[in-house]
Every structure is written in structure tokens, then in C-alpha cells.
Structure 1
Amino acid sequence: MNEGVVLSCIIGTNNTFSTDEINIIPDVYKLYLGETEQNIYLENNPVTINGYFDEKNPEQSSLSFTGIDPFLTLQNYMPAEKDPDIATISTSVKGKLTPSMASALAYLADVNDYQSNKMLLDMIPEQDRKSLSAKWLVNRVEILSHQIIGAECPDFTFTDANGKNVSLKDFRGKIVVLDFCASWCGPCRKEMRSMLTIYNELKADDLEFISVSLDDSEAKWRKMLDEEKLPWVMLWDKTGFPKNSKTPSAIQTDYGFYSIPFLVVIDKEGKLAARNVRGEQVREAILKIRQ
């Protein structure tokens, strides 16, 4: 993740290569083999790469590394769950990682769980938060702190079907079910129909449903509106759905999600009451606020 090239070399006529020794800050770096790239955690240790690499058919390559034991240790603590909106880091890492390894694990795992990231940040003394991954983690925890239950939800302004700008703050004083979706997302369309049942059962002046589409195409979004004919507020975020989880959109960063459908329930004061909920969980969150 460090900007700029730290070391580079080319393969010699005898199919070997070597580099000069340099001192580096223990952190996450990108290893490039031709056009193939891999994030790797490195410390100030000699690293040796042996084997065969086929850039056209990487799956047929056979490489072995020595000198990357700390990186291999981090692999043991990577979450098995691949969905970053669900995955967490085990508390078993406490006392087992150096500060630089803690920030590297946070960056490599890239989970959306506030407690996991806060735990790793707490393992890093203030004076050791100078690496790029540590600075990334500090910012990450600050962003995620707005996504814990009881935190005030970030405002946004998107366009409705009539071209009118609509903001979250317009619904202060109401319970808001906020649904992030897209026309091409089958599970999103299924969840909308599930939400319609809840909407019809619980609709009242104190409740508002809002669907925010992350479609790249306005035409496809409008086609979905015509097909679903849902009775609640439908908005379009024209920035669309990013192709890379490392470069989420502004709304994804604010609400801490990568995959869709993603639903949150917001109370009448504009504070987060429930996040990443579906179906009956949405109903339960609404009823809990109404108690």
C-alpha cells in the first residue's frame, strides 16, 4: 500500500534475480510479478523467492517464499468469512501481534466490524501509528465509529424519480428503513418484495421506507421502478456500484458496506437502530423503536 516503488529488478539470463538490501518500515507492500500483484506484509528480513511463475497461466505457477513468517502468521488470523459486512477478527490475536502486524492485519482483512478494527487499533501505541496501514486504520476506526448502534447516521442527498433532491434529514422524526440496492441484484429485488409485506403491515405516519439504488444506469434504475412499483421513496445514487472493494463509494464508506442488499433501520432522532438486517429483523427493529 506504500506509494512509490521500493525495489525493482528484472530476471537475468540464468533465470535468477537479486536486489540490494534496504531498510523498510514494517508494513503492507504490493509485490508485483509481471502484471500480477499481491499484498504482502514485510519486515526488515531478507526474502527469497524460488520456483516457477507463468504470468499467462498463474495457476500453473509454483513459488516458495522464505523470510515472510510474520506474513504467514497474519494469514492464520484472517477471517474465514469472506463477506466484509459480516466478517470479524478473533479476539485471540490480543497479545500475539506486534503493533505493525496489528495494523497490517486490519488492512489485509478489511472487515467492516467496528469492534474488530478498534481492538487492533488499541494494540498500537500512539507513537507507533506512523506507517501507512496504521494511518489507514486510524481513519477506518473513525469512519466505523459512526456505524455503531446509537451513532447518528450520515446525511445524504440523492435524486428521486421526479428529479427532486431528497435528503435523509428530510425524514427526521420518523423511523426510516434504508435499503441499498441495484436493479441487477437478484437478492435485492427479492428483499424489496419481503419489505413490501412489512411495509403494508406496519405502515403509519411515523414510518418511512427508502430504497437507494446503486445502479450505474439511470435507465435500468427506472426500469426497475416500473417493474416493482413500490410505494415508498426510491432514490438513485448516480455514482453507481464500485468495481473494487478497496475504492468504495462515498455512501458505502459512510454506512460501512460493500455488498448489497444492505439495510439499516434509523430511529426518529436519526440514530442507527439496526444495521445489516433482513426480513423479520427489519420488522423487529421497527417494533422495538415503537415500544
Structure 2
Amino acid sequence: MQKMKTTIGYALILGCAYACQTAEAPRKASIDAHITGLKDSVVYISGLNDEPAKSDTVPVKDGKFSWSGTVTDPRKVFISTSGQYMEFFMENNPVKIEGTVDSFYYSKVTGSASQDEHMGFEKSVKDITDGQWPLYQQLHVAKDDKVKAALEARIDSFRMAKRARIKTYVLQHPASPVSVALLADMAVMGEFAPIDSLYRQLDPVAKQSVSGQKLSERLIVIKRSSLGQTIKDFSQNDLDGRPVKFSDFKGKYLFVDFWASWCGPCRAENPNVLRAYNTFKGKNFEVLGISLDDNASKWKEAVEKDGMPWKQLSDLKGYNNEIAEYYGIQAIPSSFLLDPNGVIIAKDLRGTELQTKLAEILQ
């Protein structure tokens, strides 16, 4: 009888412990920020919801703002002011942010384990970042083609070095949300095969996270424009409202240039594309512009001002351009180089790299 009472007693203790554990409130996420000099009345926080298009509007008073709720899993979050933004990682823990409006992007974030991971990675590539930025500044003002080519080669070497470190990081941290985010960043403009190869090495937990599932969906889209794929025969109207198809250019090398009148880097690259066009137009080569404009007059004005004589197409839907959406164009300028059979043989050629590639195949 005594043994039965003891057994019942243990059962009651265990049952109470389980009940207390299950009754414990789930951990919540929160943000408490103080940004000195911030005069905006609201900030916009995106990435908290599982739907990427949704954002939270949070009131600001005396440079301070706060938010609380839950996030499904650790992820990258973005906070935007009227003129700046910052990004950081968070999970269901209290996060504190301190900074100044003049250096909002570099605000200090504490309380997030995944942010600490991210900062560890950033520290590991600081030598690359510090080496790259001065070269971009020099390239911006360089005039001589040989100087530009040398700078681009050095920048590319830094870029390849960073990709190698990303690969090492992902392989060493396959379950980390930082690994997922690094691959998602690569997938904005990167080539499908190497990103897919690393995605396959991720831990199932990372793949099944909300960010991991979005990355999987993104890979399906960018596979359509991977090297060796044949371009889909889309049709859009030119500047005169006449439909033009990709198949109209079959039999020629075709440089497909995604751009827009409002895109500063695109407009800066247009003279280089014009130079390529003038150099190779009589050698079985054409250029086709795909504009992500939504304003016909601004589109036409930019074409005329930049002196672009090649065919220009647009459905005037902005980033919702049918061709751009199908191929997952998320940043411009972006480009494909097609062979005479419409097969993608190169992507995102810019500067002297474009001239070199065309000379290689056309001369």
C-alpha cells in the first residue's frame, strides 16, 4: 500500500511538472530601439511576417520605438526610415537596438543569438570588404579601359574569395539561419548551379524554415535562366507599340539587357552597352533592351537621351514585367547573352567584361 502511495505521489509530481511546463508562456520576440537624431514619426519593419510583402508601421517618439510579437523562426529583419535602412537577425528573444540616425545601418544590436552569428561571419570577411570598397570608388572615376579592366579583375578576385568563404561557412554551419540568408543573397543575381549545390548541403531544419522554403522557391525560378537553358519565346511591344519576339533574333548572338530609366547604375552602364553594339553590330550580334519602367514617356525619354539604337521592349509594369518576373530579375542592370539558338551562354556581363566576352566569341 505504501509503495502504491509513493508511486501515486511521483505521478502527481511529474504531472504537475508537465502541467507547469506546458502552461509556460511561449517566448516572444521584441524590439526596443533608441536612434539618436531620428525625427521620423514612424519606421517600417519588414521580415517579421512570413509574407515578405507585409511590413509593420511602428510609431517613433523622441527617437525611440518598440515592437513585440512572435517570429516563426530566426530570420533577417529590415527596418526602414524615410531615408535609410538597417538589417539584422532575430528570433523569439528581446532585442535592443542603439545607434544614431547618421549611421543607422551600423546600429548596435544586442540580445539576438542569430545576429551574433551574423556579426561573426561579417568579421570573418572584413578583410575582403575593406579591400573591395576602395576599388569600387576607383572604378567609378576611372577613364582608361586598361585601368578599368585591372580594377574589375581585382574586384572579381575579391568576389570569388568571398564566395569561397561563404561556401566554407555554409558547409560548417548547415543549420544556421545565417547560412540560409547568405545563399538567399547570392540567389538575387547569382548563377543557379553553385547556389543549388550549397542549398542541398543545408540541414533539413534550415530547409524547412520559412526562409529556407523561400530560398527553395527562388531556386526554381532562377534555374530558368541558368547557363545552358534556352530562352522562352516571349513577346512584348517596342517603343512604337509593335510586338517583338525573342525568336525574331534567332540565328544571331543576342545581348538581353534588363534596365530602367530610373536605375542609376543602368544608365551608367548604357554607354558601355552602346560601345559593344557599335563594335559588334555587323558581326551577327544584336542588343535587346527590356525596360522595367512603368512610365512610357520617361522610358522613351531615357532611350533617346542615352542614344540607344537597338530594339527596346516593355509592358510598362515595372518590376512586374512579365519577362523579368518569369526569370526572377530582382536587381538591375541584369543581362543574358544568348547564342544563335537562343541558349544562355553568359549572364550579367558589365564593363570591360562584356567587351572581352563578345570579342572572344565574335572575332
TM-score by length of 1: 0.69
The corresponding residue for 2:33 is none
Q: In 2, are the aligned partners of 1:30 and 1:38 still within 8 Å (CA)?
A: yes
Name the CA shift for 1:251/1:41 in 2 (closer, same or farther; >3 Å).
farther
Q: Bigger radius of gyration, 1 or 2?
A: 2
User: What amino acid does structure 1 have at the position aligned with 2:113?
Assistant: D
* Counterparts of residues 82-231 of structure 1 (less than 5 Å): 89=163, 90-101=166-177, 102-107=179-184, 111-114=188-191, 117-125=195-203, 129-204=207-282, 206-231=284-309
Name the CA shift for 1:253/1:126 in 2 (closer, same or farther; >3 Å).
farther
Determine if the alignment matches structure 1 residue 236 to structure 2 residue 314: yes
Q: In 2, are the aligned partners of 1:154 and 1:254 still within 8 Å (CA)?
A: no
RMSD after superposition:
4.4
SS, match of residue 198 in structure 1: helix
Name the CA shift for 1:122/1:150 in 2 (closer, same or farther; >3 Å).
same
Name the CA shift for 1:165/1:53 in 2 (closer, same or farther; >3 Å).
same
**Aligned equivalents of 1:3 and 1:189: distance in 2?**
35
| Identity between Structure 1 and Structure 2 (%) | 23
Name the CA shift for 1:58/1:155 in 2 (closer, same or farther; >3 Å).
same
Displacement after TM superposition at 1:266 (Å): 0.9
**Aligned equivalents of 1:274 and 1:182: distance in 2?**
21
Displacement after TM superposition at 1:111 (Å): 4.0
SS, match of residue 240 in structure 2: coil
User: What amino acid does structure 1 have at the position aligned with 2:50?
Assistant: E
After TM superposition, the structure 1 stretch with the greater mean CA deviation from structure 2, 252-261 or 144-153, is 252-261
**Aligned equivalents of 1:107 and 1:203: distance in 2?**
37
Q: Which runs of 5+ in 2 are unaligned?
A: 1-46, 55-65, 137-155
Displacement after TM superposition at 1:50 (Å): 5.2
Displacement after TM superposition at 1:104 (Å): 4.2
* Per-residue CA distance 1:66-105 (angstroms, 9 max, x = gap): 3x2233213433575899xx96642221442142523244
Q: Which runs of 5+ in 1 are unaligned?
A: 6-16, 243-247
Q: In 1, are the aligned partners of 2:236 and 2:245 still within 8 Å (CA)?
A: yes
User: What amino acid does structure 2 have at the position aligned with 1:70?
Assistant: S
Displacement after TM superposition at 1:272 (Å): 1.3
SS, match of residue 189 in structure 2: coil
**Aligned equivalents of 2:256 and 2:234: distance in 1?**
12
Q: In 2, are the aligned partners of 1:210 and 1:235 still within 8 Å (CA)?
A: yes
**Aligned equivalents of 1:252 and 1:64: distance in 2?**
36
* Per-residue CA distance 1:239-271 (angstroms, 9 max, x = gap): 12x5xxxxx755445445444333331111211
SS, match of residue 191 in structure 1: helix
Determine if the alignment matches structure 1 residue 69 to structure 2 residue 116: no
The corresponding residue for 2:146 is none
Q: Which has the higher helix share?
A: 2
User: What amino acid does structure 2 have at the position aligned with 1:276?
Assistant: D
After TM superposition, the structure 1 stretch with the greater mean CA deviation from structure 2, 160-169 or 221-230, is 221-230
The corresponding residue for 1:10 is none
Q: In 1, are the aligned partners of 2:88 and 2:115 still within 8 Å (CA)?
A: no
Determine if the alignment matches structure 1 residue 28 to structure 2 residue 104: no
The corresponding residue for 1:12 is none
Q: In 2, are the aligned partners of 1:263 and 1:275 still within 8 Å (CA)?
A: yes
**Aligned equivalents of 1:69 and 1:186: distance in 2?**
37
User: What amino acid does structure 1 have at the position aligned with 2:260?
Assistant: A
The corresponding residue for 1:42 is 91
Displacement after TM superposition at 1:175 (Å): 0.8
Q: In 2, are the aligned partners of 1:174 and 1:207 still within 8 Å (CA)?
A: yes
Q: In 2, are the aligned partners of 1:26 and 1:100 still within 8 Å (CA)?
A: no
SS, match of residue 178 in structure 1: strand
